[in-house]
Amino acid sequence: MTTIKNVSALLLAAGVAAGLSACAPAGSATPDAEGDAATTCNVGISMPTRSLERWINDGEGLKEKLEAADCTVDLQYADNKTDQQISQIQNQVAGGAKILVVAAIDGQTLGPALEEAKSQDVQVIAYDRLINGTEAVDYYATFDNYKVGQLQGQFIEEQLGLADGKGPFNLEPFAGSPDDNNAAFFFAGAWDVLLPYVESGQLEVPSGKSPADNDGWKAIGILGWGSDDAQAEMDNRLQSFYTGGDKVDVVLSPNDSLALGIEASLNAAGYEPGTDWPLITGQDADVANVKAILADQQSMTVWKDTRELGGQVESMVAAIVAGDEVEVNDTETYDNGTKVVPSYLLDPVVVAKDDVESTLVESGFVAAADLGL
Ligand code: BGC
């Protein structure tokens, strides 16, 4: 992997420091007198919230990597508030950021702030979530979001034996935040697998909250991805539609924060792991959810190694700093309504109980001690 340190050292050793001007502040074409790359690699990182473990890991991991590569880094969290994210981005640009790495809260609303940034030669990398409706996004680094949902759908299909004709099972589907572009991909990936079984009657949805097609997902989306809201929604479904002794057999949860709320609701309703506890999907490998997997309260999570994503973004930043071509592996999928954003998609991985040690623990993503192992 190209690192910023390597790139800078190479360029400086070759006496072509001016090559770094690709990301030098407007009007200053070269690094400072000592040729210190840190003055040219000035990065603003904008993350959505500290309320979810994954974003804390993402933000801090990326900051550490970039600082180790001698970049100046400003990391901000926006408390899931769009206005706050916009003003943080504006402040980062005013403070000299030349590269922005943004995980958008609402993919639709950042256009004007980023267009202003672009007018000052700032390069914009969309992080994990696409930024929509604007030219002012240069690259996108993410996991294959459709595949995340597909893995959840296929897990359900395999565990329940749907391809062998088994059923009917009671399914309750959930979707992610309606303002998050990823949520549409997660749902589409899962629903492309599951909808045929809903149509054949092998999966029944007693609540009726069963989108007729992939585009209907927003009606079952949980705004802001909150655990409490998912819990309230599940409470409501259980109390309204499972009164006659019917049981939920399977819940499609797009991520771990929703799964946690759904699990709390099932627990309060008297479901018991190992007896009538339903199959539940998730995403992110948050510690609380990995513990739930070990305790048979969650069936799987889709693990996205955020260190890998950080490494990919570090490579993108290095290439921008060096004025090199930025490596991407998808130039078709992520149309933001204004342009198709060149993207680098990483591979998500299914983790079920038997895989926890060999994937999450062995790779150092989660410490065994944090899981009580
Ligand atoms: C991310 C997921 C995360 C969710 C809630 C999505 O955009 O891709 O990993 O669980 O946001 O924060």
Residue pLDDT, tens place only, 164-190: 999 999 999 999 999 999 999 999 999
Residue pLDDT, tens place only, 234-287: 999 999 999 988 999 999 999 999 999 999 999 999 999 999 999 999 999 999
Residue pLDDT, tens place only, 121-160: 999 999 999 999 999 999 999 999 999 999 999 999 999 9
Distance from residue 29's CA to the centre of ligand 1 (Å): 38
When divided into structural domains, the chain yields a total of 2
The answer on 85 and 102 residing in a single domain is yes
- Give the confidence band of 40 by pLDDT, cuts at 50, 70, 90: confident
Question: Who lines ligand 1 at CB under 6 A?
Answer: 52, 54, 128-129, 180, 182, 225, 255, 257, 283-284
Which atom of ligand 1 lies at the shortest distance from residue 284's CA?
Answer: 9
Q: Please spell the DSSP secondary structure of 307-318, one letter per residue.
A: HHHHHHHHHHHH
The answer on 201 and 82 residing in a single domain is no
| Residue 9: per-residue pLDDT | 46
Sheet containing 250-252: give its strands across.
Answer: 203-204, 169-173, 250-252, 279-280
The answer on 263 and 207 residing in a single domain is yes
Please count the helices (runs of H) and the strands (runs of E) in the chain. Answer: 10, 12
* Residue 53, domain CATH: 3.40.50.2300
pLDDT at 17 over 80: no
Distance from residue 52's CA to the centre of ligand 1 (Å): 9
Residue pLDDT, tens place only, 340-352: 999 999 999 999 9
Residue pLDDT, tens place only, 209-227: 999 999 999 999 999 999 9
Q: CB within 8 A of 311, min separation 6: which ones?
A: 1, 65
Residue pLDDT, tens place only, 296-308: 999 999 999 999 9
Domain that holds residue 325: 13-143+305-347
